[in-house]
Chains A and B, each alone.
Chain A
């Protein structure tokens, strides 16, 4: 399998805190790579580095063979890296439809006319057809989560980064979101997926990357990673602090 993304010795510090610390891993084309780690492990910071929200202090990011470490967030999005936010951040004063249109027109580079068709497909997929004209700011959490998914998808990504997309949802709601993620994966889109619910990772992910305090712990088969002593120690160690 070909690597779509290769992260090499990536480091981000906030003052004295090494939020992401010499992290090296790769993402294979078409896979679902789960990312696990305790709170504060640096998972969201990693996504912010991958999407260009933060500049790395050290290391580099190769996407489809190109060094994108210093490209702007908009450029990376147009290259095909889409993302969701852990705490949904829809454009509150825009409608559901307009939220998706922004992704399709700007990130996806589609003409508004073509984007409209694309947006209809996505609305169907995420099940928000009946709420197209609702303001995003007025949506309940489940809808905000699915809108996050939809908006990322609208940017026509080849790689999508999901930050605790099922976090904070009831089991029934989470199942619905999982179904959408599975459909996205079936479209051939590569997924890097941060999630706290470990069972979900065990079933959903092809491989699992475990990090703690910004550092690489383990990467490989989900069940093996979860049961490895490094991960158990890493978890317990971090959780105790």
Chain B
């Protein structure tokens, strides 16, 4: 039997009738059309469904929508201000930390939560905070670089864009 739940997602309030077994992930994607949150494993291993609940990164695939009433939910769609990306989003783009992009929403939300709590994390702290977000493309180095950049620990001119690297490689060949 469906039950009513009031959800606060990206500062907007929604009232929905959901089946008890519906996960927050299903509501976000199927009912609210917020498809930035991804599902891969569905069992807690990959982190692609990460959202912020009361500021903390949590797995929407293992969270019931009914357990989210009166909690503040932020998805990847809630980070940018209008056309302007959040510093973490911008850093991911600048550093080439995105390839297929499937892991990216979860990565960015985990990184955002980390920087909120630890504005200048060490590399170890970055790795620990992102250990639950798997990426099959980037090899992680650029993601770590992006988090360092977003925390102001790498100056923008220290980052060599991919284009220049490939030009350099061509020259050396």
Do the two chains bind? no
Which A residues have a C-beta under 8 Å from some C-beta of B? none
Which B residues have a C-beta under 8 Å from some C-beta of A? none
